[in-house]
Homo-oligomer: A and B are copies of this chain.
Amino acid sequence: MKRNSRLSGVLHVLLHMAEADRPLTSEALASMMSTNPVVIRRVLAGLRRDGMVHSEKGHGGGWRLARDLSDVTLRDIYVALGEPGLLALGHRTESPDCLVEQAVNAAMEQAFQEAETVLLDRFGEITLAALSADFHERLHRRSDDAV
């Protein structure tokens, strides 16, 4: 089953925006992500509704962050993306008449809940500022290696 990398992609884009001192166009972001500008606009449109980013038309326009890096957690981004399903596994039937299937669903559901809770809790602990700090650390490490 193919995995949804939208959250991963959005974080990538947001951090690039954080590094830039001017708005970045959909086209610039799309080429960083090797995708199409329209895809970028579609995804960022969702984040704009939640006040994560801001967009401007015309010359010098493009996308920039609307909130402080330390104010935003991965969980916030995840919610802004519409809370897509976290788990690749699911039930065959959501409300089955078959008692066998009801028993199966009940057992799995509990495990699913726990895993989702763990994942979201972790996401809630990671701010964009932390990601940015990690990035800058890697940057220094790389330049040290080069010397």
Contacts and interface: CB of A to CB of B under 8 A. Distances in A.
Interface of A: 1-5, 7-9, 11-12, 15-16, 19, 32-33, 74, 84-92, 98-108, 110-112, 114-116, 118-119, 122-123, 126, 130-132, 134-135, 138-139, 142
Contacts of A90: 3-5, 8
Contacts of A119: 87, 111-112, 114-115
Nearest to A86: B88
Contacts of A15: 100, 103-104
Given A3-B88, A3-B89, A100-B135, 13 more contacts: A1-B3, A4-B90, A5-B90, A8-B92, A9-B92, A12-B98, A74-B108, A86-B115, A87-B119, A99-B139, A102-B135, A111-B118, A111-B126
Main secondary structure of the interface of A (DSSP, over half): helix
